[in-house]
Amino acid sequence: MKHRFQKFITSLLVVSPLIFSCSEHLDVSARYVFTEMTIASYLSSHENYSEYASLLSKVPVSGFTQTSLQQLLSARGHYTVFAPTNQAIQEYLDTLVVDSVIDYPSWEAFTDSFKLDSIRRVIVLNSIIDSGDDGEAYPTWDFPTLSGREIVRTNMNNRKLTVYYTNNPDDILINGIYPVNHANRDIQLLNGVVHRMEKVVAPHTITAADYLWEIMEKKREGYLVMARAIEACGLMDTLRVWRDETYETLYQKGVITDLENINGLGFADGGSAYAPPHRLIGFTIFAEPDRFWRTQGFDPTDANLLPKLQKWIQEQHLVSADEGYTVDDNYCDEDNLLNLWVTYHILPMRIPSDKLVIHHNESRYSLSKPTVLGMACEEFYTSMGRRRLLKIYESKESGGVFLNRFPVLDCERRGNGAEVRCDADKVGCFVGRDAEDAILSDIINCCIYPIDKPLGYSDQVRDNLHKQRLRIDAMGLLPEALTNDIRKKASTSERDQQVYIPKQNIYKYFNDMWMNNDCNMVYFNAYRYWWPGKNGDEMKAVGRYEVTYRLPPVPRSGVYELRYAIIATDRRGVAQVYFGSDFDKLPVAGIPMDWTIPPSNPITAWESDTNDDDYNAEIDKRMRNNGYMNGDKSNCVSGDPSNSLREYAGAMRRILLRQYMSPEKTYYIRMKSVIDSDAKEFYMDYIELCPKEVYDNPEKPEDIW
């Protein structure tokens, strides 16, 4: 504990000049002071909180104002305060003595004013969630329903707090270690809610690299094998990064600004779109825990672990023979067998436990009953290192989240999309997101999930991926969207619903998306809007746009069909599509794509479904001959199976091309406006990469789901 905490203090002191960056745009002058009991007056009137109230008066809201947190909590707003008692603060000071931060447990023990201010901020900023003027405070009944899930909004230290429950229904633990008092919680006040805390909420500010180094230095079992393998592959420097400081500075200085009056720019929706306050960098590690390795005869502390592990990986055929790997001790080489195996365990995005698979618009699912799943859902992401495809899957029948699971689904025309069965060799790796050794809140830039079987990009996995349609959400192509809590944030506030992506000449926010400077790009989260589409969200741009995406890798060489989902309206534009592997010389892909053409236009050959499935199949063939497909049956408006995208008047899939593609190449898709207008929308919901073995299978036609 001492080693970890000292790293935490060091990290805190380094970043503290920027720690307020989420608040420098806060306009407290617009918030009036109440004459009745606010959070500040409540805390000041209770002796048990006197130490905490004193700290609130000494810590400013941000580095750009002298307004204190006490003044803020006296003003109008929606605040959630996890208020530590005097005893909790004293016990926290005791831990600082044990960890050699101070010599004795008193505020007078601080001889360094910088360190004193840092500790004060740790206590107060981690304890307050400011939901803004259009949000709501969080009483316990609005905490996440499931254990191990994050509260939607960050605290004022820009950290997500995770809620855990025990077998005692009254027990609530923040981040698994900070108990919420049973009797003094949910104290409703004029400007928010107070929960009494028996410990100071002080999440560690350590990176994945710090965490893994500590495991190795102490030889602490849990993920020791994976830590040693990651270090051997030279990935520690990568896993140490957690925030883009250049973006941070530009945002603080007001160079990166919000986009106001978006309706006046041509968007169908009004209001403002808000630039992300940070550009955080994150990771997700799926790891076989040490208890698994011991069942395979490995000692995690063995000095010869790495060559033995590499030999075992090769014998188990966990890396495809077609990868062309080398087997030697140059583990930092991207072509090395161990490196290929390790990097396939890591995604370049931080995925919290409730977003491993995103649920929103799929058939038979309702946000009002988030634990009751509908049809099976899946996500596809690109791994670190050599680019390879990882599938994350969840269904009601699977009983949890799995990696690379390939079940049989009920995808007949009159089916329901449920999992029917899964062969033993296609079950995949179970992800223990609710396991005790899942690391969800200890690391600032990473989540670590235990898996129950060895994970690898084997020939079998690649073959199975090549036998299915790959439907990929537009925001799933962009790792920063999940890391920065942009994609499908469970919030109805305008700030979270409409996110402005800064122009590229100001700063390139998404690594895998490029756009010209003649357009404005907005992500519409559309949480609880029930917009039609996959997850109900959309990427849109207006202006003379030119937008390019890097596509995920295909699993096997072969002919693929690239499709583009459309929800047609007269506000959309017309774009020429370009596709290829040479970013600077992408060839034209077919005729321009018209987002305004409704299915009723004769050019699409669309007809609504009838009770005659043979006739419906003929309509599907006719549409394909014209370069179109009906909307998918999986995604619905408000989960209503009778109102799926297949039945929705406006939803289609445009077949852009059929082309040979190789997993050894990186492909790009570019959409460029071809109409003389600054007010027509670019639109992107999802794409599909479908192998010929699926769309042109003579024995089993592609399903309508």
pLDDT, tens digit, for every residue of 541-569?
A: 999 999 999 999 999 999 999 999 999 99
Q: Residue 367 is encoded by which pair of tokens?
A: 């946000």
Under 8 Å CB-to-CB from 402, ≥6 apart: which residues?
392, 393, 394, 427, 428, 429, 430, 431
Task: Provide the 8-state DSSP code for 631.
Answer: P
Alpha helices (H) along 59-168 = 69-72, 86-98, 113-125
What proportion of the chain, given as a percentage, has pLDDT over 70?
A: 95
User: Does residue 292 contact residue 350 with C-beta atoms inside 8 Å?
Assistant: no
Domain for residue 297, yes or no? no
CA distance 570 to 579: 26
Residue 318 in any domain: the answer is: no
Report H helices in 156-261.
208-218, 224-232, 236-240, 245-252
| CATH number for the domain that contains residue 605 | 2.60.120
**Is residue 678 situated within a structural domain?**
yes
- Beta sheet of 149-150, edge-to-edge order: 149-150, 162-165, 172-174, 178-179
**Cβ–Cβ < 8 Å for 11, 213:** no
**DSSP 8-state secondary structure symbol assigned to residue 370:** T
Three-state DSSP class for 517? coil
Q: Give the up-direction half-sphere exposure of residue 404: CA atoms within 13 A in the CB hemisphere.
A: 31
Single-letter residue type at 601: N
User: pLDDT for 182-240, tens place per residue?
Assistant: 999 999 999 999 999 999 999 988 999 999 999 999 999 999 999 999 999 999 999 99
Which residue, among 389, 344, 385, 324, has the nearest Cα to 554 in the 3D structure?
A: 389
Q: 345 CB contacts (<8 Å, ≥6 apart)?
A: 226, 285, 286, 287, 383, 455
Confidence category of residue 530, pLDDT binned at 50, 70, 90:
confident
* pLDDT tops 70 at residue 315: yes
Q: Among the three residues 148, 167, 197, which one is the final residue of a domain in this structure?
A: 197
> Please, which pLDDT band fits residue 314 given cuts at 50, 70 and 90?
very high
pLDDT of residue 298: 98
Q: Single out the residue of 230, 555, 549 nearest to residue 388, CA to CA.
A: 555
pLDDT of residue 52: 97
Q: Could you tell me the CA-to-CA distances from 101 to 89, 112, 300, 481 in Å, in that order?
A: 15, 11, 32, 37
Q: Please, which pLDDT band fits residue 133 given cuts at 50, 70 and 90?
A: confident
Q: Which domain holds residue 146?
A: 2-197
pLDDT of residue 642: 83
> E strand or H helix at 539, and its extent?
strand 538-543
- Kindly report, residue by residue over 668-702, the tens digit of the pLDDT: 999 999 998 888 999 999 999 999 999 999 999 99
Tally of helices (H runs) and strands (E runs) in the chain: 19, 31
> Token digits for 132?
């803004």
Tokens of 436: 């005790």
pLDDT of 335 > 70? The answer is yes
Residue 455 confidence (pLDDT)? 98
Is residue 11 predicted with pLDDT exceeding 50? no
- Which helix (H) or strand (E) segment holds residue 430: the answer is strand 429-430
Structure confidence by residue, pLDDT tens digits, 60-72 = 987 667 889 999 9
Provide the pLDDT for residue 205.
87
Q: CA torsion 508→510→511→513, rounded to 10°?
A: -100
Cα–chain center distance at 235: 21
* Amino acid 25: pLDDT: 44
Q: Are strands 283-287 and 446-450 parallel, antiparallel or unpaired?
A: parallel
Q: Which two tokens stand for residue 387?
A: 């680019």
545-569: burial string, b at 16+ Cβ within 10 Å, e else: bbbbbbbbbbbbeeebbbbbbbbbe
C-alpha to C-alpha distance for 454 and 457, rounded to whole angstroms: 10
For residues 98, 101, 103, 106, the Cα torsion angle rounded to the nearest 10 degrees is -90
The answer to whether 536 and 360 have CB atoms below 8 angstroms apart is: yes
Q: Is residue 8 over pLDDT 50? A: no
pLDDT by residue (tens digit) across 272-308?
A: 999 999 999 999 999 999 999 999 999 999 999 999 9
- Residue range 476-502: mean pLDDT, rounded: 95
Name the pTM for this structure: 0.92
Query: Could you give the CA distance from residue 356 to residue 486 in angstroms, rounded to a whole number?
Result: 14
- Average pLDDT of 375-391? 97
* Domain termination residue (choose one: 152, 178, 197): 197
Residue 58 lies in a domain: yes
Does the pLDDT value for residue 478 go beyond 50? Answer: yes
Q: How close are the terminal C-alpha atoms of the chain, in Å?
A: 51
Q: What is the dihedral of CA 239, 240, 246, 249, to 10 degrees?
A: 130
> Does 441 reside within a domain?
no
pLDDT at 19 over 50: no
Phi-psi region of 135 (alpha: psi -120 to 50; beta: other; left: phi over 0): beta
Give the model confidence (pLDDT) of 357-378 as tens digits: 999 999 999 888 888 999 999 9
Interior angle at CA 250, CA 246 and CA 256, nearest 5 = 130
Residue 577 and residue 682: Cα distance in Å, rounded? 12
- 45 CB neighbour count, 10 Å cutoff: 11
Q: Rounded to whole angstroms, how far apart are CA atoms 36 and 451?
A: 52
Our count of domains for the chain comes to 2
Residue-wise pLDDT tens digits, 559-608: 999 999 999 999 999 999 999 999 999 999 999 999 999 888 999 999 98
Q: Is residue 183 part of a domain?
A: yes
As a whole-number percent, the residues of the chain with pLDDT over 90 amount to 85
Answer whether residue 286 is part of any domain: no
Burial bucket for residue 423 (CB in 10 Å: 0-12, 13-18, 19+): exposed
- Estimate the crossing angle of helix 50-58 against helix 86-98, to 10 degrees: 70
33 has a pLDDT exceeding 80: no
Q: Is the pLDDT of residue 9 over 80?
A: no
Asked if pLDDT for residue 21 goes beyond 60, the answer is: no
> Which CATH number is 103's domain given?
2.30.180.10
pLDDT bracket for residue 15 (50, 70, 90): very low
Q: How far apart are CA 358 and CA 526, in angstroms?
A: 14
Tell me the pLDDT of the chain averaged across its residues.
Answer: 92
Quickly list DSSP for 341-362.
HHHTTEESS---GGGSS--SSB
Q: What is the CB neighbour count within 10 angstroms for residue 30?
A: 9
CA–CA separation, 108 vs 90, rounded Å? Answer: 13
Q: What is the distance between the alpha carbons of residues 342 and 268, in angstroms, rounded to a whole number?
A: 45
pLDDT for the residue numbered 35:
52
Are the C-beta atoms of residues 202 and 91 closer than 8 Å to each other?
no
Residue type, 488: K
Distance between CA 125 and CA 146 in Å, rounded?
25
- Would 383 be classed as within a structural domain? no
Helices 208-218, 224-232: crossing angle, 10 deg rounding: 110
Q: What is the pLDDT of residue 639?
A: 75
Give the per-residue pLDDT at 598. Answer: 87
**Of the residues 167, 182, 197, which one is the last residue of a structural domain?**
197
Could you tell me which of 654, 596, 612 has the C-alpha nearest to residue 630?
654
